[in-house]
Amino acid sequence: MTKARPFLVAMDGPAGGGKGTVAVALAQRFGFVYFESGTFFRVLAWRALDLGVTAQEEARLEEIITSPWFREKWHTFARPALREERIGLFASEIARHAFIRTAFISFQRQEVLKETAAGVILEGRDTGSAVFPDADCKIFLTADPHVRARRRFEELREKNPDVVYETVFQDLSKRDANDKERSIGALQIDNTYQLLDTSTLSISEVVNTAERLVQERYNAYLAEKKRGR
Ligand code: DC
């Protein structure tokens, strides 16, 4: 039987591994839609910080998630501040709460299942393990922590010449620990993923390699669809 949902690529991995850049490039090449799942956590983090809510105040965090403002706006809310390191770090702290992960999974599934494009690229931490374990193609993109911190440092330095490498490295290490060590929805790789280590690769090498991985699975998916399964 034909699948009800679009062809799904799950691209997971730690902060600074280049997932966003690769996912955007792949979405363009294949004409797929790109979903950045971190947005859910970043918008929630932004709203919580704005209201003075701490990572421990579960009831107040739940109030935000269930509010009409969040339900209606989280996927379209855009503000440069969302990209700030303090938001990313706070997002990784609140992402450990079970009720937040449950809401995230159901919101994310709804968004993807509504999608009419031929394919969707979903980028995050557990999109191929918890959100869509049956994704058609799963890629785990990573790199040495120093390489990731260096890339993040260069990116931040364009906006702020005073940024200090050590601070960037420490923030990234803290986020790695938060993302890997939480008891549910932790960043983890298993043998359903294809590992892509980008430590020694240029962006175009990474995009070309990822494109080959996706193309292979997409061809198989289309062939299966043609056979009417
Ligand atoms: O991908 P990002 O840097 O925008 O994500 C910010 C934080 O959100 C990340 O450190 C942890 C959390 N997150 C998550 O827990 N699960 C996801 N699928 C995506 C992001």
In a domain, 138, yes or no: yes
Ligand 1 atom with minimal separation from the 88 CA:
6
CA of residue 124 to ligand 1 center, whole Å = 6
Q: From the CB of 179, is ligand 1 less than 6 Å away?
A: yes
In a domain, 229, yes or no: no
Tens digit of each residue's pLDDT (9 = 90 or more) over 133-153: 999 999 999 999 999 999 999
In a domain, 1, yes or no: no
Q: From the CB of 207, is ligand 1 less than 6 Å away?
A: no
Are 196 and 123 a contacting pair, CB within 8 Å? Answer: no
In a domain, 213, yes or no: yes
Instruction: Name the pTM for this structure.
Output: 0.89
Note the pLDDT of residue 170. 95
In a domain, 183, yes or no: yes
Note the pLDDT of residue 1. 42
In a domain, 2, yes or no: no
Ligand 1 atom with minimal separation from the 130 CA:
18
Positive or negative: CA dihedral 105, 179, 75, 34: negative
Which protein residue has the closest C-alpha to ligand 1 atom 13?
38
Which residue range is the domain that position 22 belongs to? 7-224
Note the pLDDT of residue 229. 64
Which protein residue has the closest C-alpha to ligand 1 atom 16?
125
Q: Flag residues of the chain having pLDDT under 50.
A: 1-3
The CATH number of the domain where 151 resides is what?
A: 3.40.50.300
Which protein residue has the closest C-alpha to ligand 1 atom 20?
38
In a domain, 52, yes or no: yes
Q: From the CB of 198, is ligand 1 less than 6 Å away?
A: no
Q: From the CB of 27, is ligand 1 less than 6 Å away?
A: no
Which protein residue has the closest C-alpha to ligand 1 atom 12?
92
Domain count, the chain: 1
